[in-house]
Amino acid sequence: MAEKYLEGAACHSRVRGMLGFTGTYKGRRVSVQGTGMGIPSISIYAHELLADYGARRLIRIGTCGAMQEGIRLGDVLLAQAAGTDSAVNRLRFGGADFAPAASFELLHRAYQLAQDRRIAVRVGTVLTSDTFYSDDPDSWKLWARYGVLAAEMESAALYTVAAGFGAQALAILTASDSLVTGTTATTEERQQGYTAMMELALETAIS
């Protein structure tokens, strides 16, 4: 993303082998930062971006597994809210449930930009799961029945950590596979096909 979109990108971090670059996009300073996979990993990078680098607005881009029939591989989703099967927020909130939600401002902007650019986006709830390879192949179906759009592994943590800092966060996702049909995008499609999501994230970041 830094190579393709940022001008004058310089590596600002190699901590734990996770690369971060800062450059400009259409004249505005933007950083892109790897976060690793799963709640513990993104929680560390989100916390450090907010606590140590002074970031105030975090936009996750990444892939997800579609849980609804109408969602095709390559479709872009905006995660309005994120449920989770993780216990991490119950630990944080003394056994109670926090409601991880996107920044309305970022969500609204991303949605408007998508409409302007004629990118068809779906807005709704996602499931932030602690498992990628589940022992129960049908476990997603209950979430699907409640209208959850897709499974991924980071957004609930991103929204929670950002909320703790009074910062804004949004997850923009592309369906890389479908739990409904069992289809999966190729490695090539994953590496090259997700420009709509990246451009929407960058435009939202600077708007």
The dihedral built from the CA positions of residue 144, 147, 148 and 149, taken in this order, carries a sign that is positive
Neighbour-count burial for 73-106, b at 16+ CB within 10 Å, e otherwise: bebbbbbbbbbbebebbeeeeeeeebebbbbeeb
The smaller minimum CB distance to ligand HPA, of residues 50 and 171, is found at 171
Record the tokens describing residue 170, joined without a space.
Answer: 């949004």
Whether 171 contacts 62, CB under 8 Å: yes
Residues 55-74 that bind ligand HPA (CB under 6 A): 63-65
**Positive or negative torsion for Cα 136, 137, 141, 147:** positive
Pairwise CA distance, residues 180 & 67, whole Å: 6
Q: Using CB under 6 A, which of 6, 126, 153, 201 touches ligand HPA? A: 153
Binding status of residue 83 toward ligand HPA by CB under 6 A: no
Taking CB under 6 A as the criterion, the residue among 93, 104, 132, 146 binding ligand HPA is: 132
The phi, psi pair for 26, rounded to 5°, reads 50, 40
Chain residues 110-129 in contact with ligand HPA, contact rule CB under 6 A: 129
Contact 43, 156 (CB under 8 A): no
Cβ distance to ligand HPA smaller for residue 13 or 89: 89
38 binds ligand HPA (CB under 6 A): no
Would you say 50 or 78 has its CB closer to ligand HPA? 78
CB of 132 to ligand HPA, least distance (A): 5
Is the CB of 24 or the CB of 63 nearer to ligand HPA?
63
Active site residues per annotation: 177
- Distance, in Å, from the CA atom of 57 to the CA atom of 54, rounded to the nearest integer, reads 9
139 contacts ligand HPA (rule: CB under 6 A): no
Whichever of 153 and 201 has its CB closer to ligand HPA, that residue is: 153
Beta bridge partners of 141: none
Range in contact with ligand HPA (rule: CB under 6 A) among 42-50, 68-76, 108-116, 150-158: 150-158
Binding positions for ligand HPA, rule: CB under 6 A: 63-65, 129, 132, 151-153, 176-177, 179
